[in-house]
Amino acid sequence: MSRRRAEIEKDKQNRIRLGLQEPDAPKITLNNMLRILGEEAVIDPSKAEKQVKKQIQERYDKHLKANDSRKLTKELKAEKTRKRWEKDAAQEVRMAVFRIDYMNDP
């Protein structure tokens, strides 16, 4: 999985270098706000902070929306559980049961 993601990221970087794709906007947080926004943050820090908090909230909402879109429906979840149980039942299980009547001699 990570190899596939690395290949996708490498293709993206190549497209950016060739000018076929715009680079992603910098991910602004409250910690790096002054460094990224520069003079704009110095001139009006409250406005810059408001803008950063808005971007952080948008990223969070996007994350929640993506999670909800990947979430399995009730039927798919039941089907997945059923398949897992069938797979587990197909495996052979061996066990031995012993009964000890007296535990007098340690």
- Is the pLDDT score of 52 beyond 80? yes
pLDDT in the model for residue 92? 80
* Residue 103, φ and ψ in degrees, nearest 5: -115, 40
**Does residue 1 have a pLDDT over 80?**
no
pLDDT tens, position by position, 89-103: 888 878 899 998 888
- Torsion angle in degrees (nearest 10) through CA of 72, 74, 78, 84: 20
Residues 53-78 have pLDDT tens digits of 999 999 999 999 999 999 999 999 99
Domain ranges of the chain: 25-106
In 3D space, the residue among 46, 45, 51, 1 whose CA is nearest the CA of residue 26 turns out to be 51
- C-alpha dihedral (13, 16, 22, 25), degrees to nearest 10: 40
